[in-house]
Structure 1
Amino acid sequence: MNDHLQAVAFGSRPGSAHAPTRAAYGDASVDSWMRAVAAGARGHYAAASAELDHLCASTTGRTVRSLASSTRASHLRQAGRHAAARRYDGEALWWSAGGVADTMTRAATLDALIGLAADSLGTAHFDLADRLLARCAGPLALVDDDEGWIWSGRLRLRHLWVRTESALYRGDAHRARETMADREELLRACPSVRHRIKTELIAAATSAATGDTGEATRAATDCAEAARTHDQLPLEWAATALLVGIGASGGRDESLVASEARLRAELNARGGGFTPV
């Protein structure tokens, strides 16, 4: 894999404006997938979709096709379109065939299962979400950290996110807080700026759910600033939307409301399909 692309899509340089063009070396299909991931992380959803279209037209590899479908689902889910995302996560699971025989296929299966669990939460199928999360236990037990963070630690972190969200959706803030306590160990091995911001944003939402609005506001503000610094527009929007929600209990900050609307409009201009909070 292209090391620079890894740093842009899953590492320390997420805000790089121009991902490398297609190279004559390495796994071209995996590089294409990472370009789509990097574009989506910056909120360039139309560009990411075009890259995924190119990828799916140029490869017959089932595992990479699975990763591509999971990525499409993730972009829909970021816009709150969980029902639409479910189709692509189901497709991702079909492409991976639920396999665990090799590193990438196991990761693709986990991405699909975790994505389907998140989709189920967003469509109020809470018990189904928990069953899907439980199905991840077997593949996760086979994950080896020596395989590389993209194929190991990243999946554990995503699983933690959705387990926390499951508790939040059920109104169990105590369980969500206990689940998030595991994040410190996972973050020690995390090279991805984007995943660190997303983790702390979920921690901020957990603090808000427990009634600690001061901590939630501080953490969400830090997340918004970090996302802005690294040009991660979807995360900047999500953090701003959380701040609007926190402020709704004690008077809405009109500047935050305006910022949320501006960021959402920019994401929609880039192909996002976001609706008002």
Structure 2
Amino acid sequence: MARSTPGNPLDAWLAAVALGGRGWYAAAAFHLGLLISGSDPVIAALASATRASHLRQVGGHALARPFDSAGLRRLAESDLLGPDGIDGDHPDRPGPQAADAAAARSDVLLGLAADALGQGRTAEARRLFGIESASVNAGWRAVVRRGWVAAEIELGAGRVDAAVAPAEAAAAAAQATGSVRHQIKSSLVLGASLAAVGERPSAQELIFGAHADATRLGLWPLVWPCALVLADVDPEHADAHRRAAARALHGVLRHSDPIARAAAAASPWVPTWLFSGWSD
């Protein structure tokens, strides 16, 4: 697709977010790279967090961490964290909803927590989550993402019963927004949490719905993980779900940059059988 860059940095960031939502990571990375090196520290931090998120979506938690760290550094260098750093109160630079300094701070801290969790550092993830969750007025996106990360931390720690409540909170918060993508991912997180505690019928209903909605809307980064969960909660049709997951992931990889493709291939979070029949 043509790489025309919106003139407004906020519009360019929103365009990159939308591209990433469809799995067009290479095009998104083009926009984000320009914004990360741009002069606006808040947009640069948001862009860094978004690039990190896209890498995590293909299992690249180690590669995502430097981007989240760079976003935090841009905020610190512009005195947007406060004198006590990430543990203290921080000044806010007013901006559009979910695109101000508070939202950027939330994005990078939650991102760093997710990066740590994906590399098996649960205690570090919990500490970073605790720092971020003490913040206020970071916008609706932060509220939803806190629920996701909290649930994922508990799942990663083996405390599956504790994962359900934050997943339910994320789903409820997402329903109050206009973001279908956040609603679908919240259903995925809640469904996975319910499956972990043995509530298979409820998990099936949520994940089938999320998979259908993500497929209909072309949100391929959500399609393939939904299909993977379905292979577990709907074992009678596991082979069909796995084939659907592979097709969706292959589509994402075809629209990914080399870094994202390499991250997926090397990730312990992406089953190797998903690459069967894949060629770039």
TM-score by length of 2: 0.81
Checking the alignment, whether the CA contact within 8 Å between 2:171 and 2:190 is kept in structure 1 is no
- The answer on 1:155 being equivalent to 2:142 is yes
2:84 equivalent in structure 1: none
Deviation at 1:185, TM superposition (A): 4.3
CA distance in 1, matches of 2:201, 2:166: 20
Q: Say whether the 8 Å CA contact 1:19–1:35 is kept in structure 2.
A: no
Name 2:198's counterpart in structure 1: 211
Structure-2 separation of matches of 1:110 and 1:48 = 21
Secondary structure, counterpart of 1:101 in structure 2: coil
Counterpart CA distance in 1 for 2:62 and 2:183 is 27
Is the counterpart of residue 109 in structure 1 residue 105 in structure 2?
Answer: yes
Q: Determine which of 69, 83, 89 is the counterpart of 1:90.
A: 69
How far apart are residue 87 of structure 1 and its match? 1.0
For residue 253 of structure 1, report the CA deviation from its aligned partner.
2.2
What is the distance in 2 between the residues matched to 1:153 and 1:223? 20
Contact 2:148 2:170 in 1 (8 A): no
Deviations 1:191-213 (A, max 9, x none): 10100001011000001100122
The correspondence of residues 123-138 of structure 1 with structure 2, limited to 5 A, is 123-138=119-134
Instruction: Judge conservation of contact 1:244–1:253 (CA < 8 Å) in 2.
Output: yes
Equivalent residue number for residue 67 of structure 1: 46
The range that moved more, 169-178 or 194-203, is 169-178
What is the letter of the counterpart of residue 153 of structure 2? S
Aligned equivalents of 2:15, 2:51: Cα separation in 1: 13
Deviation by residue 1:230-275 (Cα, 9 ceiling, x = unmatched): 111101111112112334xx46622212111111111111114234
Shift of 1:138: 3.4
Matched, 1:186 2:173: yes
Report the AA paired with residue 47 of structure 2. A
**Change over 3 Å in CA distance of 1:124–1:42 after alignment to 2:** same
Deviation (angstroms), 1:101:
1.6
Output the CA distance in 1 between the equivalents of 2:36 and 2:5: 17
For 1:90 and 1:62, the matched residues in 2 are separated by 13
**Shift, 1:180, TM fit:** 2.5
Asked if the contact 2:48/2:68 (under 8 Å) is kept, the reply is yes
- Distance, in Å, in 2 between the alignment partners of 1:194 and 1:126 is 26
Q: Distance in 2 between matches of 1:82 and 1:170?
A: 17
Q: Number of matched residues?
A: 245
Cα offset, 1:184, TM superposition: 5.2
Deviation, structure 1 residue 54: 2.9
Conservation of the 8 A alpha-carbon contact between 2:5 and 2:31: no
Structure 2 residue identity aligned to 1:128: E
1:203-226: CA deviation from partner (whole Å, max 9, x where unpaired): 000011001222212211110100
RMSD of Structure 2 on Structure 1 (CA): 2.2
Shift of 1:169: 0.7
Structure 1 distance, partners of 2:172, 2:249, is 33
- How big is the shift at 1:18? 10
Corresponding residue to 1:270 among 228, 248, 255:
255
In 2, Cα distance between the equivalents of 1:237 and 1:55? Answer: 29
1 CA distance for matches of 2:143 and 2:172?
A: 11
Matches within 5 A, 1:243-254: 243-247=230-234, 250=235, 253-254=238-239
Q: Deviations over 1:64-119 (max 9, x none)?
A: 11111101100010001111111111111111226232241111111000000011
Measure, in 2, the Cα distance between the counterparts of 1:22 and 1:181.
36
Q: Which residue of 1 aligns with 2:34?
A: 54
- Residues 146, 170 of structure 2: 8 Å contact kept: no
The answer to whether the 8 Å contact 2:150/2:166 transfers is yes
- Counterpart of 1:35 in structure 2: which amino acid? A
Query: In 1, are the aligned partners of 2:168 and 2:190 still within 8 Å (CA)?
Result: no
Query: Which consecutive residues of structure 1, in runs of 5 or more, have no partner in the other structure?
Result: 1-16, 144-150
Cα distance change, pair 184–257 in 1 and its aligned pair in 2 (3 A): closer
Partners in 1 of 2:226 and 2:42 — Cα distance? 32
Equivalent-residue separation in structure 2 for 1:173 and 1:48 (angstroms) = 34
What amino acid does structure 2 have at the position aligned with 1:267? V
Flag the 1:18–1:183 CA change in 2: closer, same or farther, 3 A: farther
